[in-house]
Amino acid sequence: MFGLDPTLFFLLCFCLLAACAFEFVNGFHDTANAVATVIYTHSLRPTQAVVWSGFMNFLGLLTGGVGVTMSIIGLLPTELLVDTNVYHSMAMALSLLISAIIWNLGTWYFGIPASSSHTLIGSIIGIGLGHALLPEASNKGISALNWDKVIEIGQALLLSPLFGFALAIILMYILKKTVTNKEIFKEPKKKSPPPLWIRSILIATCTLVSFFHGRNDGQKGIGLVMVILIAFLPGYFAINTTLDMQMVKSSLATVQTVTAKIDTIPLSEKERGNLADLKHSASDLAIITSQNLTPATLTTDQKFAIRKAALTINKHSKKLIESESVALSENDKSAWKKATAGSKAPFFTFGASSSTGIAGVTDFAPNWVMWMVALSLGLGTMIGWKRIVVTIGEKIGKDHLTYAQGASAELIASLTIGLATAYKWPVSTTHVLSSGIAGTMVAQRGIKNLQGDTVKNIVLAWILTLPVTVVLSAGLFLFFRWITG
């Protein structure tokens, strides 16, 4: 099938199943983030809560586009994304999957609300560092890793829990001052549902967290699958198979026209190098697009050449457009941004996203990939919730979770995740909600209301996830590269 020998076909199937397993684990690992409050407050029965949460995760992923997906893939060195050696790409895919699943399962087993986002990003950084240690990468070393993207995503992962913690405190303070019915500040009664209005709010916040979790975390699974497909079947997935080559040609002409106007004298040495690389890649892409070929008639080598050129153009364009040294009119910058724009996904766009620029060459995911990952995430959400629900409901604070605390934490979490997805930032649903719960506990009775041991375990997992997964994935990558030659 697809011209693969039996061994490679088996490995392809194994990697796709492993990617589904990662998203399945992500589902039941993060289920408690959405369902803890409605289960703990008896707003919904456990079965109802996890099925509803699973459905909303499923719907969220299908309507989320691929912006976060491309941010995740963009962490990898360009050389790895255009390597035509299938065994090299296989080593990358296997090390990424195995390291991410090992850490996710380990933290779930011990009931620690760890982050799938941290896990995946740490694994990707580890692959980049492992690649830097290879002899063929000695000329670039660790600079081959997209450090700008690493820093950008790292800031999102660092700041989002702090944002959630602070906003939860503020929201709880406002509720205390404005809500006269103190029923919402009481501990849930055993096996007795809350008043209808409180129950409605809690179900609504559960729905929002589940939906936005699907839109953000689900895209990470899409990114995994696309890395695997590009690795094993570059002839089919190196570029968007529904690509409009005339659109690429038109966008490329705009990029070349605008970049020709840039005065190089005020630029730094690094910016001059970026501009030179961009122009060189644009010329390479122009040669291919001038032949009036279609995706169906392109050779695999031409597809990889297009992919490499598009990745280089978009990578350097973003840096140069934002540079104060680049003197261009606002109209020129706007045209440049549009010509290199990524995918756009309307609120209800099922399947592959539309694109308005050169990024459409690489920013895509087939319909079946999105459905496969959505099903894995949705089914995973329906399993494994018990271990972490107790941590969220009873072990973060010394007091049991109240109605107001649950609704506040989930409202803040859904807002934070929704904004992050809009800006294409992968954030941790786990840490955003856990920090929100902690914020509500502090708002209730001060910092002394937090349980030190649980908070310490969560923070420790937050701190350790990146270094552990970096080392694990780097080691696995080097091992697989060694045995594949």
Report the pLDDT value the prediction gives residue 449, as an integer from 0 to 100.
Answer: 66
d(CA 140, CA 469): 23
**What is the residue-averaged pLDDT of the chain?**
79
Helical (H) or strand (E) element with 295: none
The 10s digit of each residue's pLDDT in 250-308 is 899 999 999 999 988 888 888 899 899 999 999 999 998 888 777 778 888 888 888 88
**Residue positions counted in the chain:** 485
d(CA 147, CA 318): 14
Nearest to 25 by CA among 481, 381, 394: 381
Comparing 149 with 403, the larger pLDDT belongs to: 403
Report the pLDDT value the prediction gives residue 305, as an integer from 0 to 100.
Answer: 87
Res. 352: pLDDT tops 50: no
Angle subtended by helix axes 429-445 and 116-132, to nearest 10: 130
Report the pLDDT value the prediction gives residue 471, as an integer from 0 to 100.
Answer: 92
Burial class of 185 by CB neighbour count within 10 A (0 to 12, 13 to 18, 19+): middle
For the chain, give the percent of residues with pLDDT over 90: 7
Report the pLDDT value the prediction gives residue 346, as an integer from 0 to 100.
Answer: 39
Report angle CA 235, 236, 241 to the nearest 5 degrees. 120
Report the pLDDT value the prediction gives residue 283, as an integer from 0 to 100.
Answer: 93
Query: Using an 8 Å Cβ cutoff, are 309 and 282 in contact?
Result: yes
Nearest to 433 by CA among 248, 187, 217, 154: 217
Report the pLDDT value the prediction gives residue 344, as an integer from 0 to 100.
Answer: 47
Whole-number Cα distances in Å, 484 to 38, 89, 469, 481: 49, 10, 22, 5
Res. 345: pLDDT tops 50: no
Residue 394 tokens read as 């009873």
Q: Residue 343 — pLDDT band, cuts 50, 70, 90? A: low
Interacting residues of 99 by C-beta distance below 8 A, sequence separation 6+: 119, 122, 123, 126, 469, 472, 473, 476
Task: For residue 450, give the DSSP letter.
Answer: B
d(CA 291, CA 244): 14
Lowest mean pLDDT among 68-77, 175-184, 349-358: 349-358
d(CA 294, CA 297): 5
The 10s digit of each residue's pLDDT in 210-258 is 888 888 777 778 888 888 888 788 778 888 877 777 888 889 999 999 9
The 10s digit of each residue's pLDDT in 144-175 is 666 777 777 778 877 888 888 899 889 988 88
Among left, alpha and beta (phi > 0; psi -120 to 50; other), residue 42 is left
Residue 316 tokens read as 């350097």
Res. 109: pLDDT tops 70: yes
The 10s digit of each residue's pLDDT in 420-439 is 877 777 777 777 877 888 88
Res. 441: pLDDT tops 70: yes
Lowest mean pLDDT among 40-49, 114-123, 453-462: 453-462
Whole-number Cα distances in Å, 96 to 26, 80, 423: 15, 13, 24
Three-class secondary structure of residue 427 per DSSP: coil
Residue 407 tokens read as 């609704």
The 10s digit of each residue's pLDDT in 468-478 is 899 999 999 99
